[in-house]
Structure 1
Amino acid sequence: MSNHNKNGAVVFVKYLERCVAFYRHTMALAVTHEEAGLVVLESDTMQLVMHAIPPSIAGTFEITDPPQPREDASVKLFFYVDDFAAARSTAAEYGGRVQAADKEWAWRGFRACDGVDPEGNVVQIRRIEY
Structure 2
Amino acid sequence: MSEPKALFGAVIFAKDLQRLARFYEQVIGLSRQQEAADHVLLAGSGFELVIHAIPARIAADIVITTPPERRSETPIKLFFNIASLQVARESAQRLGGDIVADEQGWLIRGARVCDGLDPEGNVLQLRQHLA
TM-score strictly above 0.5: yes
Q: 1 CA distance for matches of 2:62 and 2:41?
A: 24
Name whichever of 4-13 and 118-127 sits farther off.
4-13
| CA drift at 1:121 | 0.3
Q: 2 CA distance for matches of 1:5 and 1:128?
A: 22
Q: 2 CA distance for matches of 1:38 and 1:17?
A: 9
Q: 1 CA distance for matches of 2:83 and 2:5?
A: 25
Q: 2 CA distance for matches of 1:5 and 1:61?
A: 31
Q: Which residue of 2 aligns with 1:32?
A: 33
Name whichever of 104-113 and 88-97 sits farther off.
104-113
SS at match of 2:79: strand
Q: Which residue of 1 aligns with 2:53?
A: 52
Alignment of 1:50-129 (within 5 A): 50-129=51-130
User: What's the Cα RMSD here?
Assistant: 1.2
Q: 2 CA distance for matches of 1:3 and 1:20?
A: 20
TM-score when scaled to structure 1?
A: 0.95
Give 4+ residue runs of structure 1 displaced > 4 Å after superposition.
Answer: none
| CA drift at 1:5 | 4.0
Q: Where does the alignment leave 5 or more consecutive residues of structure 2 unmatched?
A: none
